[in-house]
Amino acid sequence: MSKLITVTGVVQGVGFRPYIYRQAMKLSLTGWVRNDGEGVTIYLTQDLTDNQVRTELLVDPPPGARIDAIACVATPVQPVTGFTVIPSDSSGPKRAEVPIDLAICTDCQMELFDAVDRRHGYPYINCTNCGPRFSVILALPYDRANTTMAPWPPCESCRAEYEDPLNRRFHAEPTACPTCGPNYYLVPKTASPLNAPTRGTAALELAAAHLRDGAILGIKGIGGYLLACDARNEGVVGQLRSRKFRKDKPFALMAKDLNTIMEVAGINTNEAALLQSSSAPIVLLEPQGELPLVAPNAPRLGIMLPYAPLHYLLFHYGAPELMVMTSGNRSSEPMVIEDTTASDLLLGIADEILVGERPIARRVDDSVVALDHRDRPVLIRRARGYAPTRVTQLAHHAGVIVGCGADLKSTITLSIDGQVTTSPYLGDLSYREIQQEHRHTLKTLLGLWELGTADLVLATDAHPDYHVNQLAHTYAAEFGIDPPQEIQHHRAHFASVLAEHRILDDLALGVTFDGTGYGDDGSTWGGEFFYGSLPGGFERIAHLEPSPLPGGDAAARYPLQCLAGFLEPDAWSQWIGPRLSTDADDRMRLSLRLATHKSTSVGRLFDAVAAILGFDDKITYEAQAAAWLEALATSAIRRGYRPQANSLLSFIDNAIYYRGFLAALAEQVYQRRQPPDEIAADFHASLASATATALYALAQGHPSRFICFSGGVFQNLVLRQALDRQLQTCLPDHRVLYNERLSCNDENISLGQVALVVMGLPTR
């Protein structure tokens, strides 16, 4: 008998077949390997044991591969000679994992700057170990005809490499060279016969020179257009903020190398490894040095290294060694991917545009990651280099479940027979363009796996006014299926952690702290404690003290407005009102009298504390006041201050009470008894202490081995560290879990929706 081996995971588009071919040659095996709808299938005439398959044939897979499962079955011998790579099998259901975009590998970097290599200086150089994947795929299986490279047939030399199983570019679908492939050209703001676009190397050299001279450039990247300028030139950074309508939100940076990063930020070994990984995310680092307009009042700098050949070439030709590299759009709008749109929109912001001829199949933003106090990765935005990948496996359910997510930081999650994949970050659905992107992403994912819509089960957020709720009901009507199941927001957060860690049946305690979510009682929740399991559901067992929220969810834009509802009236009159103008004070008092909406939001509590400490402005980006508060706390801790928990922030009768704490805080600030950064640090310690106290009390009557934390508040690394210390003391036997494969913010809502629906359905 011979052996038929099926390998699933990330095994297409990462050089897996040529790897198997080389291993077969090394081991003198005969048979074949091919891609198919499930992953990769290998046929061997030899009857290898399962252990030999794992320890000899699959011992060292390519760096971009991830093997999830290996199935080996005996099969009759086929009449084959030698070992070959045979054409892909396109029949049967499509279940193969979509490969992700990878940073340029070291081999391609060497060729890029090798003067005698035929791809010297070519900005689209790639191989099976690196380059675009998801951003160029139009359909599965991952073959060249199904990518945006289809219009560029390979030249004779590229074809020979593509067909040679021993070559690094064997079936590297986007492979090309200057002779046969796309290139870049520089479009000036005002084009004319005397000022025509410049192409190729000359365009890159000119672009680098203009960046060095203080220009703002639009640059076509892997997953969309970016805006770049000299990060050390305050004048041009200020111009970019003005033109982009981005008042305060931090800009991401791209540094030429690690030495450049060390000039402006602290960096440890694990952060350096993350920056240099094949995912090449933006990494949040401790700032050192002065870049006041790049990330004003933010606790960290977001920095990435070059990840595309184009980036390396720009630095090589003399671009500034530290550049702002931010999404190509007006603030909060979707990143531009179309060349015509870039010309129309970005030339209102940029001085010139560096246009790449290879089309982008779909928008993919840069991922953002931080390391916590234990050097564990904390995803802030999951996109290029991370998505879409399978995030978990749920109980088998023969069907397709779609989680439509939430309004902010929206994503889409698909469960296909229990295999769960989550899309990259999409954005804020209050913008029509992001709604269109949501629809496009859903159709793309369904199309890639050739999934019909007749038997889809949809899930969405329970908020009746969310755009995603309206979209989901529209999808249901278009597909002619049942209306979507509506899942409460914070239960979805909790469920996402259990699903990621595959805790599918056990009881667990869950804590979900965020800014806003529609509660069972119609009020705004955001400081919730739950108990339950995925199949049994979650009971709300405690929460933050409810308070009036003037203006409802709109108060998230005005920290003083939150404070007016959260603070006792006497404390407001004594400590806050006198520092405001009469008009502002009167407006806040009137809004409070008109307030009928209640909130338990921890996100709004952060806003209220920030307002006490002096954040009086309107918020210009989500969680700005909370980030400002975290930056203050971080400043105190960095200079050696040891935060103290205040018992006035306390847990009593299944609620965390804070009004007395806020009143004392306002008095303390007014009388200037302590620096604001120390007060901010003490607030983080106090909230961590109150949360741990609540969990200890709740655990006595709700037995479990697991405590799950989710919601945007837990992106706060100061809070996570303080909470970790508290829980080690009071609940050392419990396993503490956060989102790991997804962000803890609303990106995980779609996963939680799917998990609750799948685990509530009968297994078939």
183 is catalytic: no
Lowest-confidence pick of 38-47, 201-210, 349-358, 572-581: 572-581
Average pLDDT over residues 237-265: 96
Considering the domain boundaries, does residue 352 fall inside one? Answer: yes
Q: 439, exposed or middle or buried, with CB in 10 Å at 0-12, 13-18, 19+?
A: middle
The predicted pLDDT at position 13 comes to: 78
**What confidence tens digit (pLDDT) does each residue in 49-101 have?**
989 999 999 998 988 888 988 999 999 888 898 999 988 887 777 778 888 99
Residue 166 placed within a domain: no
For residue 652, the model assigns a pLDDT of 95
Mean pLDDT of all residues in 19-33:
93
Pick the catalytic residue: 22, 34, 35, 659? 35
pLDDT, position 524 = 94
pLDDT at 135: 94
355 - beta bridge partners? Answer: 185
Return contacts of 43-46, CB within 8 angstroms, 24+ apart: 43/2, 43/3, 43/4, 43/5, 43/75, 43/78, 43/80, 44/2, 44/3, 44/4, 44/5, 45/2, 45/77, 45/78, 45/80, 46/2, 46/3
Query: Biggest alpha carbon distance in the chain?
Result: 91
CATH code for the domain in which residue 449 is found = 3.30.420.360
**Beta strands 706-710 and 735-738, pairing class:** parallel
Specify the DSSP element, H or E, that contains 659.
helix 659-670
The yes-or-no verdict on residue 342 having pLDDT over 90 is no
* Residues sharing a CB contact under 8 Å with residue 196, sequence separation 6 or more, in sequence order: none
Tell whether 568 and 679 lie within a shared domain: yes
Q: State residue 193's pLDDT score.
A: 52
The residues near 667 (Cβ < 8 Å, ≥ 6 apart) are 571, 574, 575
The pLDDT tens digits of the residues spanning 714-734 come to 999 999 999 999 999 999 999
Inside any domain, residue 732: yes
18-23's contacts with Cβ under 8 Å and 24+ in sequence apart are 18/85, 18/128, 18/165, 18/166, 18/167, 18/168, 18/170, 18/171, 19/61, 19/62, 19/65, 20/57, 21/83, 21/85, 21/165, 21/166, 21/170, 22/165, 22/166, 23/56, 23/57, 23/58, 23/59
Q: Give the number of residues written for the chain.
A: 764
Average predicted confidence (pLDDT) for the chain: 92
The structure tokens listed for 397 are 């359910």
Same domain, 590 and 722: yes
The last residue of a domain, from among 67, 85, 103 = 85
Residue 617: predicted pLDDT: 85
CA distance 18 to 13: 11
Q: How many CB atoms lie within 10 A of CB 318?
A: 12
Is 108 a domain residue?
A: no
Average pLDDT over every residue of 1-28: 90
> CA angle, 206 as apex, 201 and 207 as ends, to 5°?
100
Q: Token digits for 685?
A: 């310690």
Task: State the Cα–Cα distance between residues 693 and 452, nearest whole angstrom.
Answer: 49
**Three-state DSSP class for 595?**
coil
* Strand 253-255, strand 265-266: pairing: unpaired
Q: How far is residue 12's CA from residue 140's CA, in Å, rounded to a whole number?
A: 10
End-to-end CA distance of the chain: give it in Å, rounded.
Answer: 33
Higher pLDDT, 141 or 555: 555
Give CA–CA dist 267/253, Å, rounded.
15
CA nearest 35: which of 66, 8, 2, 73?
A: 8
Cα dihedral 371, 376, 377, 378, rounded to 10, equals -80
Identify whether 651 is part of a domain. Answer: yes
Task: State how far the Cα of 601 lies from the Cα of 681, in Å rounded to an integer.
Answer: 20
Residue 13 resides in a domain: yes
Q: Which helix (H) or strand (E) holds 44?
A: strand 40-44
Are residues 697 and 675 part of one domain? yes
Please, which pLDDT band fits residue 594 given cuts at 50, 70 and 90?
A: low
pLDDT digit string, tens, across residues 379-393 = 999 999 999 989 999
Q: What is the DSSP string of 212-253?
A: HTT--EEEE-SSSEEEEEETT-HHHHHHHHHHHT-SSSPPPE
Q: Are residues 602 and 560 in the same domain?
A: yes
674: domain CATH number is 3.30.420.40
Q: Is residue 453 part of a domain?
A: yes
* Among 17, 169, 246, 384, the one annotated catalytic: 17
What is the side-by-side strand order in the sheet with 31-35? 66-75, 2-10, 40-44, 31-35, 83-85
The span from the CA of 164 to the CA of 167, in Å, is 5
Report d(CA 203, CA 121) in Å as an integer. Answer: 12
Give 354's contacts (C-beta < 8 A, 6+ positions apart): 184, 185, 186, 187, 203, 204, 207, 217, 218, 219, 220, 310
Same domain, yes or no: 755 and 708? no
Domain count, the chain: 4
645-704 pLDDT, tens digit each: 999 999 999 999 999 999 999 999 988 889 999 999 999 999 999 999 999 999 999 999
- pLDDT per position as a tens digit, 516-541: 999 999 999 999 999 999 999 999 99
- pTM attached to this predicted model: 0.94
Give the tens place of pLDDT for each residue, 318-338: 999 999 999 998 776 788 999
- Of 308-317, 376-385, 556-565, least confident by mean pLDDT is 556-565
- The CATH number of residue 26's host domain is 3.30.70.100
Same domain? For 307 and 446 the reply is no
481 and 570, same domain (yes or no): no
- What pLDDT does residue 283 have? 98
Give me the percent of the chain exceeding a pLDDT of 70.
98
Q: Determine the pLDDT at residue 143.
A: 81
567 and 576 Cβ atoms separated by less than 8 Å? yes
Q: Within this chain, do residues 734 and 624 fall inside the same structural domain, yes or no?
A: yes
Handedness of CA 691, 697, 699, 702 (dihedral sign): negative
290 and 410 in a common domain: no
| Element housing 109 (H / E) | helix 106-112
Of residues 287 and 196, more confidence is placed in 287
CA distance 531 to 698: 9
246 and 328 co-located in one domain: yes
- HSE-up of 269 (CA within 13 Å, CB side)? 1
Let me know whether 282 and 300 are in one domain: yes
Token representation of residue 731? 């609940």
**At 764, is the pLDDT very low, low, confident or very high (cuts 50, 70, 90)?**
very low
Place of tokens 């929206």: 410
Cis peptide before 182 (omega within 30 of 0): no
Same domain assignment for residues 235 and 277: yes
Does 439 map to a domain?
A: yes
| CA triple 686-687-691, angle to 5 deg | 120
Last residue of a domain, one of 28, 51, 85: 85
The string of pLDDT tens digits covering residues 404-451 is: 999 999 999 999 989 999 999 999 999 888 899 899 899 989 988 889
Q: What is the pLDDT of residues 268-280, one digit of tens each?
A: 999 999 999 999 9
Residue 763's pLDDT is: 42
Q: Which residue has the higher pLDDT, 396 or 643?
A: 643
Per-residue pLDDT at 289: 82
- Segment holding 594, helix H or strand E: helix 582-594
Residue 697 belongs to what H/E stretch?
Answer: helix 676-701
pLDDT at 664: 94
762 DSSP β-pair partners: none
444: Cβ contacts below 8 Å, ≥ 6 apart? 362
Q: Which tokens in the block code for residue 294?
A: 């790049």
Cα–Cα distance for residue pair 107/101, rounded to 1 Å = 17
Q: Residue 486 is part of which domain span?
A: 388-491+746-760
SS3 content of the chain, % helix, strand, coil (to 5): 35, 20, 45
Does the pLDDT value for residue 596 go beyond 80?
Answer: no
Element (H, E) at 266: strand 265-266
Number of helices (H), then strands (E), belonging to the chain: the values are: 22, 32
Residues contacting 426, CB < 8 A, separation 6+: 405, 409, 410, 411, 412, 434, 437, 438, 441
Q: Which of 315, 338, 322 is nearest to 288 (CA)?
A: 322
